[in-house]
Amino acid sequence: MKPILFKPDMVSAILTGNKTQTRRIVKISDEELGELNYEAITIGRDSQLGWIVWVGRKIVKRLKPKYEVGDILWVREIWQWEGETKYTDAIPIGNFWYKTDFEEGEGPSRWKPSIHMPKIACRLFLEVTDIRVEKLQNISEDGCKAEGIESNTFINGMEKITAYKIYGSKNSWDESPIVSYWSLWESINGPGSWESNPFVWVIKFKRHEM
């Protein structure tokens, strides 16, 4: 069983069933590529060698993804312990709060970061059902929706329009799921991270009951 971190809005999307995919950057350093053109490399799975990076017939690197099909993941999220004393492994799950469950400004005055959430506090488990590699900007509109982007319906005259949240901007929406996911990606990975168009692991999952 392996941990995986999600921000509160993505935890909410998983809980509602709207998020069934996540994308994580495939880490390849400049030193490993040397003088090879990043745009010329290919990443795929070989039946004997596993995941490999190659240019033409030259294998540059073998990859080991952090997650594999069949893995059970326990979700780390922003949390807090209800009690006044320090939690222990013997304390039941009911004694934890999760930021996802509160409106902005509500709940405890201080939250603990997801990276520090112990396994005993986990309430959400996922099973990896598929994994592949693609360039970030190759994501489809359906892929964006499966990433859990928030949608809303607006009335424009006599027409109903579905629009998608622009992350990092207050109450902004766009009709393009791609634009929405672009903003979500940059809100997590920083400015310019979309434009760099990295290879990403596309990890599909489903809820797993423990």
Which domains does the chain possess?
Answer: 2-77+124-137+197-207 (2.30.130)
Q: How far apart are CA 189 and CA 186, in angstroms?
A: 5
Exposed, middle or buried by CB within 10 Å (0-12, 13-18, 19+), for 188?
A: middle
pLDDT means over runs of 10, the chain (210 residues): 96 96 86 62 84 81 90 96 60 75 85 92 96 95 97 85 92 94 96 93 94
Tally of CA atoms within 13 A in the half-sphere of 52 that contains its CB: 13
Residue 66 DSSP label? S
Q: Are 192 and 199 in contact (CB under 8 A)?
A: no
Q: What is the pLDDT of residue 163?
A: 95
| CA of residue 165 relative to chain centroid, distance | 16
What pLDDT is stored for residue 33 in this prediction?
61
pLDDT for 6-64, tens place per residue? 999 999 999 999 999 999 999 876 666 655 566 678 888 888 888 888 887 778 788 88
CB 109 within 8 A of CB 80: no
pTM greater than 0.75: yes
